[in-house]
Amino acid sequence: MGKKRLWAAAALLLALALCGGIAMRLFGHREYVVGKSIKNEEITDFYWTYSSSTNPPAYQRYRFFVEDGRRLFFHETREGDHWPLTEQDATVTGTAALTDEQWDAFLTCVAGGTVVSREESVASGDAGPWTYLYWQRDRGEYQQFSFASYGAEQDFVALCEMLRG
């Protein structure tokens, strides 16, 4: 009787695992990993945005993207004494073409990071940063990105500050 119960338990666990995987695919809760399920050459756009209603308010956006085969970096800083800060409050913006080494440094920062379906968190009041990564095989959904580690995110911010000059 012990072997039958063992086989029944194993079959149940297998069924649950299969159903869980199917449910994740059906309901969009799949997790993609940069460098594994998302290849570096597939990345088309990456946004990192911090927006806070502190006094004074703070806003910073960094974007790495591919346009007409060119790899580019964009940054925008907004400043003011009111909330929310809007595009009219932009004080520093810029776009620059990236060298292969600079693009590789960006890829190193996002390597191992995860992407899941976007979840709205309007009620949280969080200042972010909010990060989104888009790639060629994406099904057209907004994709929420998380760095592999806090250190990787800090390296990313340092890279952006250096590129901002």
pLDDT, position 13: 45
Most confident of 21-25, 34-38, 118-122: 34-38
Residue 77's SS3 state is strand
Contact between 49 and 60 under an 8 Å Cβ cutoff? The reply is yes
- Report the distance separating Cα 165 and Cα 58, nearest Å: 19
pLDDT digits (tens, 9 = 90+) for 52-96: 988 889 999 999 999 999 999 999 999 999 988 999 999 999 999
User: If pLDDT is split at 50, 70 and 90, which confidence band does 29 have?
Assistant: low
Residue 65 pairs in a beta bridge with 45, 72
Of residues 19 and 41, more confidence is placed in 41
pLDDT, position 98: 98
How many other C-beta atoms can be found within 10 angstroms of the C-beta atom of residue 78? 20
Beta-carbon contacts of 41 under 8 Å, excluding residues fewer than 6 positions away, are none
User: If pLDDT is split at 50, 70 and 90, which confidence band does 20 have?
Assistant: very low
Sheet with 143-146, edge to edge strand ranges: 32-33, 114-117, 143-146, 130-135, 43-52, 58-67, 70-78, 90-97
pLDDT, position 140: 74
Nearest to 152 by CA among 103, 101, 111: 111
pLDDT digits (tens, 9 = 90+) for 127-157: 788 899 999 988 777 689 999 999 999 999 9
pLDDT, position 22: 45
pLDDT, position 17: 46
pLDDT, position 118: 78
Sign, Cα dihedral of 144, 145, 146, 151: negative
The model carries a pTM of 0.78
